[in-house]
Every structure is written in C-alpha cells, then in structure tokens.
Structure 1
Amino acid sequence: METARRYDVHEAEAHFSVILEQVAAGAEVVICESGEPVAKIIALRARGMRTGRGSLRGQIRVHAAFDALPGDTAEAYGTR
C-alpha cells in the first residue's frame, strides 16, 4: 500500500488545488504541523453502492422494441 503524501500546513495552503486533484485521483494526504500529523484528507465516496434486489429501480428502461423472451427461454428463467 502506498504511503500517504505529507504536506506541512503552509505548503498545503499554497498547493490546495493540487492536493484536491491528488485526493480525487485516490491518494490520501496527511497535513502536518511542526512535523506531526494533524489531519488526513481522503476522497468522499458517493453514497454506498446498493447491490440488493431493487437497487437499480428507476434507473433502467427497457426499449419499447424489446421483444418478450420465447416461451421455452422464459420458462427456463422462471418468468412465465
């Protein structure tokens, strides 16, 4: 695992936009004061990924030209 990049408080203030780019790319950044770590900057994750039944509700649309499954295929999938 890669070690977090460390910045002194004053260096972090001067290069904040660069730090944000690094964090957005997945890096962790530690801010130090007098050589001692005082804060860690990490990327916020989007709301937790739901993976259960119904987790994509409202996000998928079936095209009107989509044909129903043939009878034997539908039966094999238990949708008949």
Structure 2
Amino acid sequence: MTITVKVGEAKTHLSDLLAKVEAGEEVIISRGNDPIAKLSRIPKKNDLGALIEEARAARARAKPVTTEEILAWKHEGHRY
C-alpha cells in the first residue's frame, strides 16, 4: 500500500511514517500535488517477505503465458 503526504505532514509525522515503512508500506512525499520523494523499506538479505513481494511485483509486470507456451517448455529438449 502506498501513502502520499505533503512535506509539512511528513516533517510532523516522520516517526509514524517510518514505522509504516518498516511495516512494508511505501510513502510518497509531495510538494503540492507534485511527488518529490519516496520512502521505502530497505530489504535485509534474509528478508523473506521482501523477497516474496519482489517476486510478486516481477510477476505482475510479466506478460501472461499461454497454454501452448507451457506445453512447448515442457517438451523442450525431448527427443521423440
């Protein structure tokens, strides 16, 4: 989930915003209606949750796979 806040609100509530970032949320800081910065969690090497989220985001960007492609991959390299 992404939260958008204005600069003044970010200054006033920085500790609360950082707690939200640590919990996995993303915070966009804007000046007026223009976004200027993004706060996001720095993943740890062994952070399974971050790894899963990264995999889900990559899958969401990928194009759909057809049944024909899956069958072709399944039989790839087989000799008949």
TM-score band, normalised by the shorter chain?
0.5 to 0.7
The structure with more helix, counted as a fraction of residues: 2
Letter in 2 for 1:22: K
Q: Measure the CA separation in 1 of the matches of 2:45 and 2:36.
A: 27
Summarize deviations over 1:18-75 as a string: whole Å, max 9, x none: 00000000000000001110011000011367xxxxxxxxxxxxxxxxxxxxxxxxxx
Q: Secondary structure at the residue paired with 1:19?
A: helix
Gaps of 5+ in 1: 50-80
Q: Which residue of the partner structure matches residue 15 of structure 1?
A: 13
User: Could you tell me which amino acid in structure 1 is paired with residue 21 of structure 2?
Assistant: V
CA shift for structure 1 position 15: 0.1
Q: What corresponds to 1:33 in structure 2?
A: 31
Secondary structure of the equivalent of 1:11? helix
Q: CA RMSD in A?
A: 1.5
1:36-47 matches, within 5 Å, as 36-47=34-45
> Which structure has the bigger radius of gyration?
1
Letter in 1 for 2:4: R
Task: Identify unmatched segments of 5+ residues in structure 2.
Answer: 48-80
Q: Equivalent residue of 1:23, what SS?
A: helix
Report how many aligned residue pairs link the two structures.
Answer: 47
Runs of 4 or more, structure 1, over 4 Å off, are none
Q: Percent identity?
A: 32
**1:43 match: secondary structure:** coil
